[in-house]
Amino acid sequence: MKPPGFWQRDGHPLPRMLAWPLSMGWLAGAALKNLTIRKGTAVVPVICVGNLDLGGSGKTPTVHMLAAWFAAQEIRPGVLSRGHGGSLSGRSPVRVDLAAHDAGQVGDEPLLHAARYPTVICADRVTGAELLATDCDVILMDDGFQNPGLARDLDLLVVDAKSGFGNGAVFPAGPLREPLQRGLARADAIIAVGPELRDGRINGSGLPVLRARLRPDETGLARKVYGFCGIGRPEKFQQTLVGNGRRVVGFRAFPDHHPFTDAEIEKVLREAGATGATPVTTEKDAVRIAARFRDRISVLSVSLVPDAPEQLDALLQPIADQIRTP
């Protein structure tokens, strides 16, 4: 879904006001759902990597940045996910196995996590944590900031530095999953992703703000490309390609988590071939493409790098100390 213009901070207020009653219904539904969620505590520390908006802020690379920090400290990280869109996502936990599972079963992001670290999917976060804790020293929960089930030692909000919190309204009147001040009150810190910090509410939140930027791995990437993706903010991928000196001769944006059909990929390949360009997509999208097409498509991987590594150290060191204390 493409975010409507009125979701932006300077968007027209009339659609937001008209959608306000629906936002109240959204909040009521979420509150009722949370009443039925099982609550519990894991035997290892839990860090939630969440957001207040509906996605596209950079949670996946944030999880990998945190996991790499712990791995460098010889602390074993594991990733807990709901497995959004996967047929195996339910109340029974599933260890993600790259040799046995595909995106249709476990979701796209868990496959990316499982390529690096032990990963479990489960709609019941407490049950999922019980299984994952047997394989790791610290659990990184990808998403779930609005899920009260599993107790956390650290709650981090990932925010796109440029778009920030949009018009500050709750879906569908705006891009937020819950009221802004309520969400900020439960967070321990903000990770603002991107070079442009335009939303003063981020620094004005009263929370520690860690700035970070996405660093693309351009190894072997052609200069003339045809980009396509199905992520929360496709324009960010297009801007990354252009910003790194690529000539983008075509670009197609699909819905977030879109399950690519053979016909869609064949069309992308034809359109790219007609212009002599190399088709390129994101890591998250690549796992949703049939294996027989993947060797004809380049993948641009990215990593998240903190502007001030010492801030990341200060944020995570108390968790590391907690793990090492007998």
- Per-residue pLDDT tens over the stretch 225-240: 999 999 988 988 998 9
Pair (206, 260) in one structural domain: no
Pair (298, 311) in one structural domain: no
Which whole-number Å values give the CA distances from 137 to 45, 62, 82, 151, in the listed order?
Answer: 7, 18, 20, 16
Average pLDDT over residues 91-117: 95
Average pLDDT over residues 133-159: 96
Domain count across the chain:
2
Pair (56, 99) in one structural domain: yes
**How many whole angstroms separate alpha carbon 160 and alpha carbon 173?**
19
Pair (296, 173) in one structural domain: no
Pair (209, 131) in one structural domain: yes
Q: Please name the amino acid found at residue 119.
A: T
Q: What is the pLDDT of residue 260?
A: 95
Pair (204, 293) in one structural domain: no
The percent of residues in the chain predicted with pLDDT above 90, rounded, is 84
57 within domain boundaries: yes
Pair (234, 147) in one structural domain: no
- How many residues does the structure list for the chain? 326
Q: Which residue from 169, 89, 156 is spatially nearest to 127, judged by alpha carbons?
A: 89
Structural domain range at position 153: 46-213+305-324
Pair (220, 206) in one structural domain: no
**How many whole angstroms separate alpha carbon 21 and alpha carbon 36?**
24
Query: What average pLDDT does the structure give for the chain?
Result: 94
**How many whole angstroms separate alpha carbon 259 and alpha carbon 299?**
17
**How many whole angstroms separate alpha carbon 316 and alpha carbon 80?**
18
37 within domain boundaries: no
31 within domain boundaries: no
Q: What is the pLDDT of residue 1?
A: 59
Buried b or exposed e, range 212-222, using 16+ CB within 10 angstroms: bbbebeeeebe
Dihedral, CA of residue 109, residue 114, residue 118 and residue 123, to nearest 10: 30
Buried b or exposed e, range 84-122, using 16+ CB within 10 angstroms: bbbebbeeebbbbeeeebbbebbbbbbbbbbeebbbbbb
99 within domain boundaries: yes
**How many whole angstroms separate alpha carbon 228 and alpha carbon 280?**
7
27 within domain boundaries: no
For residue 279, what is the domain's CATH number? 3.40.50.2300
Pairing assessment for the beta strands 154-160 and 189-193 based on DSSP bridges: parallel
Q: What are phi and psi of 57, to 5 degrees?
A: -90, -20
Which whole-number Å values give the CA distances from 53 to 163, 252, 300, in the listed order?
Answer: 10, 23, 25
Pair (101, 250) in one structural domain: no
**How many whole angstroms separate alpha carbon 281 and alpha carbon 230?**
9
pLDDT at 130 over 80: yes
313 within domain boundaries: yes
Q: What is the pLDDT of residue 322?
A: 94
Pair (270, 201) in one structural domain: no
36 within domain boundaries: no
**The pTM is what?**
0.93
Alpha carbon 168 to chain centroid distance? 20
23 within domain boundaries: no
pLDDT-derived band at 325 (thresholds 50, 70, 90) equals confident
As a whole number of angstroms, the longest Cα–Cα distance in the chain is 63
Pair (158, 285) in one structural domain: no
Point out which residues pair with 228 in neighbouring strands.
252
Pair (199, 281) in one structural domain: no
**How many whole angstroms separate alpha carbon 2 and alpha carbon 234?**
9
Q: What are phi and psi of 152, to 5 degrees?
A: -120, 150
For residue 156, what is the domain's CATH number? 3.40.50
